[in-house]
Amino acid sequence: MTKIAIILGSTRPGRNGETIASWVYETALKRTDAEFELVDIAAFDLPLLDEPVPAIMGQYTKPHTLAWSSKIASFDGYVFVSPEYNHSMSGALKNAIDYLYHEWGNKAAGFVGYGGGGGTRGVEQLRLVMAELGIADVREQVDLSLMADFQDYHIFKPRANQDQAINAMLDQVISWSNALKPLRERSEIGVQ
């Protein structure tokens, strides 16, 4: 069965992302067309990128990198739950992405952004990074506004239409992850 990671892309204390990622995960678990796992980058304790060789070489030396690599490689697609900080994704998420290269390729990604403007500018930055890594990013995304989907900016109360938005995005992530499977299989046996 297709395996999709829901990646919580914030490590900030008191982060809203924890509640959002749990909501995405619980919504996804109602589906029967894929397996889902919640992956919190904070659990991997990744320092600022400390590998001596660029990730494209795949010559990891640190235990935290090896654990992160193993986890990310095990999925067929991803849903990134990302805050918007200063018109971009969080630095912690960018750092976690940059640790790896080949593990991301020929997979699909969807996005759940959150922030004052729904996280859309942070997602735009993520889309640029996904293209460089060979990840097919899907069109549908979930934009959560701190004003409209939260009470007092901290109590998560998503609008009714957000369940539909999640499922539309997941439909595309799962479809694209399945469609890209032959490319992943070819790259595993060394065919380009």
CATH 3.40.50.360 holds for 3-188: yes
Mark 123-134 as b/e (b = at least 16 C-beta within 10 Å): bebbeebbeebe
- For the whole model, what pTM was predicted? 0.96
Q: Is residue 2 within 8 Å of 177, Cβ to Cβ? A: yes
For all residues of the chain together, what is the average pLDDT? Answer: 95
Token representation of residue 55: 């990730």
Report domain extents, the chain: 3-188
pLDDT higher than 50, residue 191 = no
Residues 38-59 have a mean pLDDT of 97
pLDDT higher than 70, residue 141 = yes
Residues 28-36 have a mean pLDDT of 98
pLDDT higher than 70, residue 190 = no
Q: Is residue 82 within 8 Å of 95, Cβ to Cβ? A: no
pLDDT higher than 90, residue 186 = no
Using alpha carbons only, give the angle 123, 125, 126 rounded to the nearest 5 degrees. 60
